C-alpha cells in the first residue's frame, strides 16, 4: 500500500491527536466527536484517496465529496489543511469499526487503484 499510516485529527483545532493503528481505542470523551482521519501517503503518484467506513464508501454531504484529490488526504475533507468539522463521530456505535483506505493514480478514484490499508478501531464513550 502507498499509505504509510493514518492520523487521527481534531477537526476543531486542525491538530493531530496521534497515529491511528490497528486495534486502537478512540475515547470520544477524551478526543471529542469532531474528528477526521488523515491518510499519510509516501508517493507523488497518488491522484486520489478513497475512504471506506465499515465497508461503505465514506461520502460527505451525501454523494458530494467521496474522494480526496490533494494532500492532506482527510476522510472528512479539508480546505487547504483546514479540516472540515462536518461529521459527528458520536453517530458511530460503541465497539469495533473498520476504515479502509484506497489510493488511486487518477483524480476521483480513477486510474490504477491499489489495495487498501485497513485499520480496525474501537469507539469508547
Residue-wise pLDDT tens digits, 23-78: 999 999 999 999 999 999 988 899 999 999 999 999 876 666 889 999 999 998 99
Using CA of residue 74, residue 79, residue 83, residue 85, what is the dihedral sign? negative
Query: How much is the average pLDDT of 102-113?
Result: 96
The pLDDT assigned to 122 comes to 98
Query: Mapping DSSP to helix (H, G, I), strand (E, B) and coil, where does residue 123 land?
Result: strand
Question: 103 or 116: which carries more pLDDT confidence?
Answer: 103
DSSP state of 90: G
Q: SS3 helix, strand, coil % of the chain, rounded to 5? A: 10, 50, 40
Query: pTM of the full predicted structure?
Result: 0.93
Mean residue pLDDT across the chain: 93
Confidence of residue 87 (pLDDT cuts 50, 70, 90): confident
Given a cut of 90, whether residue 115 has pLDDT beyond it is no
Instruction: Using CB atoms within 10 Å of the CB of residue 97, give its burial: 0 to 12 exposed, 13 to 18 middle, 19+ buried.
Output: middle
CA-to-CA distance for 76 and 8, rounded, in angstroms?
11
Amino acid at each position: 500500500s502507498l499509505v504509510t499510516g493514518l492520523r487521527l485529527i481534531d477537526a476543531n483545532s486542525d491538530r493531530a491527536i496521534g497515529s491511528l493503528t490497528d486495534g486502537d481505542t478512540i475515547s470520544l470523551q477524551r478526543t471529542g466527536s469532531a474528528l477526521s482521519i488523515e491518510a499519510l501517503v509516501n508517493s507523488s503518484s497518488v491522484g486520489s484517496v478513497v475512504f471506506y467506513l465499515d465497508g461503505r464508501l465514506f461520502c460527505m454531504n451525501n454523494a458530494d465529496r467521496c474522494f480526496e484529490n490533494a494532500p492532506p488526504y482527510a476522510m472528512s475533507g479539508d480546505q487547504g489543511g483546514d479540516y472540515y468539522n462536518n461529521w459527528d463521530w458520536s453517530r458511530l456505535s460503541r465497539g469495533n469499526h473498520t476504515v479502509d483506505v484506497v489510493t488511486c493514480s487518477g483524480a476521483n478514484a480513477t486510474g490504477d487503484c491499489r489495495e487498501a490499508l485497513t485499520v480496525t478501531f474501537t469507539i469508547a464513550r
